[in-house]
Structure formats: structure tokens, C-alpha cells
Amino acid sequence: MQFLLDYQWEIFILLEVLSLVSILLFGIVRYLLSKKKSSVLFLFLFLVLLLMEAALAVVLYRETGEISTFQIVITIFVIYACTFGIGDFKKLDRYMRLKIGNWRGIDLLTEEDKLLMRKQKDPRYIAQKYRYSSMIHFVIFVCAQAIFWYIGLGSIEKVISYLTDLSWIGTSNVENTPYPNEVLYGISQVWGLVFIIDFIYSWSYTIFPSKQGGE
């Protein structure tokens, strides 16, 4: 167990590198070697590595009894992989099919893929897509915070009092916040920062469309 505590970041980085390699091998085996069944093993490996990251965070939390930056980072990575990461994987998959198909001299893209790739070069489509994703993120974030606050406070009256007095934001003492424990408070702090950055970035495609390039 001490080994995990001493080398937690190194283990996490190794798992991330292996995850990336497994995704790339999936594309190589599936599209370059044309072995679809074998390629599924690398997707399975990716999921196993993702579960190992989550398990590592849980084990370290149970060992130390404290929430740390490490657990928060892993939580963000796992949530990303299960949400926005799916769309990014599909984009990478199309890119690998395009490049490997060109290299092999065959067309691995469907008409739907080609249409979507053309759309992704249209600033209006890009802006619409990011507006949509930012609003989904907003709804999920607000709902999650509402649940966290209700768990910590248990009544609407207390929730309103914290909403009208935001002086608790940034405090290191979780008892002065509407959150029930340090875990949810730490996650919410990082998530809030990520949400703000993501929201501004997403709407920049709408506010400054002429300055944005295609994906």
C-alpha cells in the first residue's frame, strides 16, 4: 500500500499512457490490419485501465481518509472519459479511418462520416454544437450541485441562505459550506472551475465566430 502512496502520480500517468496506446492500437488493428474482432480487445483494455484509475483513487482515499488533488484529478478524468470523451473518441476514430484509409488507398469512411466532417468545418455548426454541449454541462452541473447541497443542508431554507450569502466560497473549512463533506466540496471546487472555463470557451465560438477555425 505504501508503494501506491509513494508512486500514485507515476502510476496514474502510466495508466493514462497505456490508455492512449490501447486506443491507438485499436485503430491500427481494426483499420490497418482489418482484424475487427481482435481490435475489440484493446477497447476492453481501455475500459479496464479506466476502472483501475478509479479503483486507485478509491483505495488511496480509504487508506488516507482524506480527499486530495490526486483523487480530484482522477475523478475529472473518469467523468470526462464517460461523457465528453466518448465524442472525442468518435472524432479520433474518424481521423484514424481517414488517414489509414488514405494510406491503404481505400475508403473507410461512411457517407455519414464525410457529412459530419464537412459540418465540423462550418463555423455555424461548430458554434451550435458547443452551445448545445455547454448547456448540457450547465444542466448537469446545476443538478449535481443541487443534490450535493440538499445532502449537506437538508432544507430549502438553508439552501437559499447560502445562495444569498456567497462569502463561504473559497473557504478551506467545509463546515462553513453547504457541502456535506470534503470529498464533494473538493470535487465541486475543481468542477466549478472547469465548468467556467468550458462555458466561456464554448460560447466564444458564438460570440467570435469569425475568429474560430474548423476542427
Domain count, the chain: 1
What's the CA gap between 79 and 77, in Å, rounded?
6
Residue 103 lies in a domain: no
With residue 185 as reference, give the H or E element that holds it.
Answer: helix 182-207
Structural domain that includes position 158:
123-207
The answer to whether residue 34 is domain-embedded is no
What is the distance between the alpha carbons of residues 124 and 186, in angstroms, rounded to a whole number? 36
Give the count of beta carbons closer than 10 Å to the beta carbon of residue 158: 14
Residue 54 within a domain = no
Q: Which residues of the chain have pLDDT under 50?
A: 212-215
Contacts of 168 (CB under 8 A, 6+ apart): 162, 176, 177, 178
Q: Are the CB atoms for 109 and 94 separated by under 8 Å?
A: yes
Note whether residue 145 is domain-resident.
Answer: yes
Contact status, residue 101 vs residue 31, Cβ threshold 8 Å: yes
In a domain, 74, yes or no: no
Q: What interhelical angle do 123-153 and 156-164 show, nearest 10?
A: 120
Phi, psi for 99 (deg, rounded to 5) = -70, -45
pLDDT number for residue 122: 87
Buried b (16+ CB within 10 A) or exposed e, 30-63: bbbeeeeeebeebeebbeebbeebbebbeebbee
What distances in angstroms separate CA 118 from CA 124, 159, 174, one per listed residue? Answer: 12, 46, 48
- For residue 53, being part of any structural domain is answered with no
Q: Give the pLDDT confidence score for residue 211 in this predicted structure.
A: 52
Q: Is residue 108 part of a domain?
A: no
| Cβ-contact 152, 179 below 8 angstroms | yes
Who's near 192: CB < 8 A, 6+ residues apart? 141
- The whole-number pLDDT of residue 70 equals 86
User: How many Cα atoms within 13 Å fall on the side-chain side of residue 145?
Assistant: 17
16 is a domain residue? no
Tell me the CA end-to-end span of the chain in Å, nearest whole number: 44
Burial of 157 (0-12, 13-18, 19+ CB in 10 A): exposed
Residue 50: name the closest of 72, 73, 74 by CA: 74
